[in-house]
A and B are shown apart, each in its own frame.
Chain A
Amino acid sequence: MAVSPELVFSVLMGLLLLVVAGWLTRLEDWQAYTPVGGGGYGESTGHGHEEKPAGLTRWLTTVDHKDLGILYSLFGIVAFAWGGITAMLMRVELTTPGMDFLASFGGVGLYNALLTTHGITMLFLFAAPLIFGFANYMVPLLVDADDMAFPRINAIAFWILPFATILMWAGFFLPLVGIDIQAAKTSWTLYTPLSSTMQGTGVDVFLLGFHLSGFSTTMGAINFIATIVAERDSVSVPWSKLDIFSWTILTQGGLILFAFPILTAAVTMLLLDRNFGTMFFAGEGGGAMLWQHLFWFFGHPEVYILVLPPMGLVSLILPKFAGRKLFGFKFVVYSTLAIGILSFGVWAHHMFTTGMNPRLTASFMAISLAIGIPSAVKVFNWITTLWNGKLRMTAPMLFSVGFVQNFIIGGVTGVFLAAVPFDLVMQDTYYVVGHFHFIVFGAIGFALFAAMYYWFPIMTGRMYDRRLALWHFWLSIIGGNITFIAMLILGYGGMPRRYATYLPQFMTWHAVATVGAFIMTFGVVAFIWNIWQSAQYGKRVDSGDPWNLKQSDQFTNEWQWYEGKRQTMLADGGEEDADDAESNAAD
């Protein structure tokens, strides 16, 4: 008798529930619950309670914002590796015009799947979670809160992500074990009618994962807003003293709150169209344009959801190594808010070539050009902060300066694209690809690297390897500019985006872009090796102020917290000392 899949899954689920029940029974005693009320935990251990269990259980059960910050960051780095591998597979294929490197692995279909997962992974699984990682760790410290406003929701938001990611990546691995679920090949914009009519459960599985990741982001955003508004210590951190990173996270939270429900609704409609016979995006219904409007109404604010916090990071880090306060702090905050508001009025600039009413295109062009003004205000403020400063070219500073350079190129090419006549020519070419890669990797990625190096001492108690960090920076800035400038040139030449094969005339610049991508990859390898090694064996930080911030009167809250923690550890003869003794003995 053949065993039905229903029976197999029923047994497997039964086993899973038994394992969960067994683990919970070992860990928890429901009878012993003493209600502690909603909201944040205190640090108090007045009842003889410790904060966290040890080992793997700690990481599976933590609701501590710092632990979750580390988990988010690790998750972001893993996603970055996947996004990078997929990019390199595409770049190697694009070195020559024909289909050769990927031909025996799946050909054009695999290329399309790689393109889809690369875009989604880098935006939703690398950039956003890494931002949330730093925000989780630092925002409560910066605003003098005990923890996030809703620590358990914080943990739920994190744990949805890896499970959702498994669904989003499953299509690449399931065929290897004989299950016929193929990866989605819809491109990250999921344009209908392609995405609504493409056959295969793989697309649905991917969409479900994407849908769930939206829940996670929205839960996280609500938590950040509540933390900054309600958990902030209004005496030590009044609104007037709120740091720039928290301002950008607050603005980002607002954008997520308005943008992500639109995405969730649109993806739900798409799933219903694909599986339950609705016709939201069919020709007889709202049509393909409805998807584009919904997607980009979410999608353009998403750009600012991803770029505003990195702008906040750079605004926070640059002054520390320029030896002077951020120039025009208030205007940087105002420009953040202005960008946040304007970001909802620019979505149709992604659709200039769809045959929209010209009066509409003109208004969207005007707002898209206008958003360049607050962006330029920020650039002006960063440059004037550096002007006549006492610059210390540490790794975080180098990445911050690199951010400004890349953002200027990415921003100016974006201003060009906002102009309808230019966009009509450049739409769907590599010029657009070059433009947004300058922003997503050149700006967002660089700011996140800067933050990683800047806060590395707080997060690990150790210092990164400076030499490797410098290699990381120079390889990234050189490789990045080679690749993305080559893409801009390809776009000027008329090379269309999304294609796995191309005309031989584009080969030279594609080869240049691939060389640049390899240079970047070496930089990223240096980064990952550095983080991994230094977190375990790096030189221990010997003061609460490893960046000499007290000198320029910029010893901000998170570093004060860190100094306090070190002093408590020293007084208690805490963990760090014990580790030191061990490592000294080993030496």
Chain B
Amino acid sequence: MEEQPGLSEQYTRASPWPVFVALGLVLTEFGVFLGNYLLPVGVGGVLLLETSVVGILRESGYVDSLWPASLGVGLLVGGVGVALLTVGRFNRGVALAGAGGIAVLAAVGFFCYERGYL
């Protein structure tokens, strides 16, 4: 397959990630805090935030590969979820722990891919 340069490769003053970091942060705070039927918005927001943070870290060169960032972000979010579970906030706790777990799973996937196991 012919390689096409990505936007931030081609243009020196452009990055697709900041707008999604911001949107992810806002949806996370809005959905997770208000909870109830808005919790799916929060879960979507967390996933968007996790992806964007990993993407922006990778793009700006703060990390060399995807899996450590994904693992770190997943553990952080998952940790908050577990903390909420321990104080009895079941729905929010499960939402965050689950979203963190997805990022950890993604980290495993990235690790296998980068090491050539996949």
Show the binding face of A for B, using Cβ within 8 Å. Answer: 4-6, 9-10, 12-14, 16-17, 20, 23-24, 27-38, 41-45, 49-53, 57-58, 60-64, 67, 147, 151-153, 155-156, 158-160, 163-164, 167, 201, 204-205, 208, 211-212, 215, 271, 275
Contacts and interface: CB of A to CB of B under 8 A. Distances in A.
B3 to A, nearest CB: 6
Nearest to B22: A159
B16 A10 contact: no
A152 B22 CA distance: 11
A236 to B, nearest CB: 22
Q: SS class of chain B's interface: helix, strand, loop or mixed? A: helix
A4 to B, nearest CB: 7
A27 B5 CA distance: 9
Interface in B58-73: 58-62, 64, 66
B48 A63 contact: no
**Residue of A31, A42, A208 with most chain B CB atoms under a 10 A cut-off:** A208
Given A29-B6, A164-B26, A201-B34, A155 B61 contact: no
A152 B55 contact: no
A345 B59 CA distance: 44
Nearest to B24: A20
B43 interface: yes
Of A28, A44, A153, A163, most B-chain CB atoms within 10 Å: A28
Nearest to A37: B61
A103 B23 CA distance: 37
Nearest to A9: B40
Given A14-B44, A57-B14, A61-B14, 16 more contacts: A24-B55, A30-B58, A33-B58, A34-B9, A37-B60, A49-B10, A50-B10, A52-B13, A53-B11, A60-B19, A67-B13, A151-B15, A159-B21, A167-B26, A208-B34, A212-B26
A44 B12 contact: yes
B102 to A, nearest CB: 11
B9 A29 contact: yes
Q: Which of B17, B18, B29 has most chain A Cβ within 10 Å?
A: B18
A61 B6 contact: no
Nearest to A10: B40
B15 A63 contact: yes
Contacts of A160: 22, 25-26
A67 B12 CA distance: 13
B94 to A, nearest CB: 13
B113 to A, nearest CB: 10
Contact of B7 (A28, A45, A164): A28
Contact of A51 (B11, B29, B43): B11
Contact of B61 (A14, A35, A42): A35
Contacts of A20: 20, 48
B4 A29 contact: yes
A50 B5 CA distance: 12
Nearest to A156: B18
A92 B88 CA distance: 50
Contacts of B29: 208, 211-212
A235 B30 CA distance: 46
Given A4-B37, A52-B14, A36 B22 contact: no
Most buried by B among A30, A42, A45: A30
Contacts of B9: 29, 32-34, 49
Contacts of A155: 15, 18-19
Contacts of B44: 13-14, 16-17
Contacts of B26: 160, 163-164, 167, 212
A62 B14 contact: yes
A61 B15 contact: yes
Contacts of A35: 60-61, 64
A34 to B, nearest CB: 7
Contacts of A67: 13
A32 B4 CA distance: 8
A58 B39 CA distance: 32
B58 to A, nearest CB: 6
A13 B13 contact: no
Given A27-B7, A30-B55, A51-B11, A9 B37 contact: yes
A45 B3 CA distance: 21
Contacts of B39: 6, 9
A163 B14 contact: no
B66 A30 contact: yes
Task: Indicate the member of A57, A63, A211 with the most B CB atoms within 10 Å.
Answer: A63
B48 A51 contact: no
A475 to B, nearest CB: 37
A37 B20 CA distance: 21
Nearest to A67: B13
Ranked nearest first, the 7 interchain pairs of A and B with the lowest CB-CB distance are A35-B61, A13-B44, A155-B18, A159-B22, A29-B6, A5-B37, A28-B6
A214 to B, nearest CB: 11
A163 B23 contact: yes
A153 B53 CA distance: 11
A52 to B, nearest CB: 5
B68 to A, nearest CB: 14
Nearest to A207: B33
A5 to B, nearest CB: 4
B33 A208 contact: yes
B11 A52 contact: yes
Contacts of B12: 41-45, 49-51
Contact of B34 (A32, A41, A163, A204): A204
Contact of B59 (A10, A33, A158): A33
Interface in B38-60: 38-41, 43-45, 47-48, 55-56, 58-60
A24 B26 CA distance: 19
A337 to B, nearest CB: 32
B48 A27 contact: no
A208 B30 contact: yes
Interface string B68-104: 0000000000000000000000000000000000000
A64 B44 CA distance: 29
16 contacts: A4-B37, A6-B37, A14-B44, A29-B3, A29-B9, A35-B64, A49-B9, A50-B11, A50-B12, A61-B16, A63-B14, A151-B15, A152-B15, A152-B18, A155-B15, A160-B26
Contact of A36 (B61, B64, B66): B61
A475 B84 CA distance: 56
A41 B3 CA distance: 24
